[in-house]
Amino acid sequence: MMLAVPKDVEEFRTMPAYGHLELFTYDQLKAATGYYSPEQIIGEGGFGVVYKGFIHGAEVAVKELNPAGLQGDREWLVSHCTSSSSSRQSC
């Protein structure tokens, strides 16, 4: 099932279809990755670097959006919310 793609994060927060997801603050993600420690890097792509981290005792992958990248916030939201609807529990 494909869910509607929100136009921005504020709209995303109001959509009941995404109610099962947990949103994290930048500070929470920063702490989960050891403050974006180079030792936690597990990959890199068009959006930026991917870090391994731990949130609520669970291992997670955290993507840090590259502000100089060629892909924008909306494309990031589309790619993550589409995959979140089928397999992930956070966005």
Range of the domain at 54: 20-84
Check residue 21 and give its pLDDT. Answer: 73
Distance CA 1, CA 21 (A): 16
**Tokens linked to 20:** 């099962």
- Please report whether residue 89 resides in a domain: no
- Please report whether residue 26 resides in a domain: yes
- Please report whether residue 51 resides in a domain: yes
Distance CA 32, CA 51 (A): 9
Q: Considering its fold, how many domains does the chain have in total?
A: 1
Reported pTM: 0.62
CATH of the domain at 33: 3.30.200.20
Average pLDDT over residues 75-84: 60
Q: Which helix or strand (DSSP H or E) is residue 48 part of?
A: strand 48-55
28: phi then psi, degrees, rounded to nearest 5: -65, -40
pLDDT for residue 4 is more than 90: no
- Please report whether residue 53 resides in a domain: yes
For 26-73, what is each residue's pLDDT tens digit?
899 999 999 999 999 999 877 789 999 999 999 999 988 777 776 666
Yes or no: say if 17 and 6 are a contact pair by the CB < 8 Å rule. no
- Residue found by looking up tokens 């997801």 in the block: 21
